[in-house]
Amino acid sequence: MKRRKLWALALTAAMVGSLTACGGGSKPAETTAAPAAATTAADNSAAADTQAPSGDGGSLVYWSMWEATEPQGKVIKEAVDQFSADTGIAVDLQFKGRTGIREGLQPALDAGTNIDLFDEDIDRVNKTWGAYIMDLEELAKANDYEATASASLMGACREVGDGTLKSIPYQPNVFAFFYNQSIFDEAGVTAVPTTWAELDAACQKIKDAGYTPITCDDAYILCMFGYHMSRINGYDKTSDIVKNNKWDDPSVLEMAKAYEDFANKGYFSEGIASNVWPAGQNQELAMGTAAMYLNGSWLPNEVKDMAGDDFQWGCFSYPAVEGGTDGTEAANFGAQVLAINKDSKNAEAAFQLITYLTKGEFDKKLSVESVGIPSDSTNTEWPAQIACVQPVMESLSTRYPWAAGAEDNVDMTPIIKENMMKLCGGSITADEFVANLQAAGK
Range of the domain at 353: 41-173+334-385
Residues 405 and 277 reside in one and the same domain: yes
300/387 Cα distance (integer angstroms): 11
**Are 153 and 45 found together in one domain?**
yes
Specify whether 273 is located in the same domain as 338.
no
Around Cβ 239, how many Cβ atoms within 10 Å? 23
- Does one domain contain both 428 and 286? yes
What is residue 442's predicted lDDT score, i.e. its pLDDT? 84
Domain membership flag for residue 50:
yes
Q: Would you say residue 428 lies in a domain?
A: yes
Q: What angle do CA 420, 409, 108 make, to 5 degrees?
A: 120
Q: How far apart are CA 327 and CA 350, in angstroms?
A: 39
Do 435 and 348 fall within a single domain? no
Domain count for the chain, please give it: 2
| 369 within domain boundaries | yes
36 belongs to a structural domain: no
Contact 323, 233 (CB under 8 A): no
Helix (H), strand (E) at residue 315: strand 313-316
For residue 22, the model assigns a pLDDT of 66
Residue 112 burial (C-beta neighbours within 10 Å; 0-12, 13-18, 19+): exposed
pLDDT along the chain (442 residues), means of 10: 36 38 43 35 37 59 96 96 97 96 96 97 93 98 96 92 97 96 98 98 98 96 98 98 98 98 98 95 96 96 91 97 98 95 97 97 95 93 92 92 93 97 98 98 86
Residues 274 and 348 in one domain: no
pTM value is: 0.80
The answer to whether residue 417 sits within a structural domain is yes
Residue 11: the pLDDT is 33
* Domain C-terminal end among 385, 411, 428: 385
Residue 119, domain CATH = 3.40.190.10
Q: Please indicate, yes or no, whether residues 266 and 347 belong to a single structural domain of this protein.
A: no
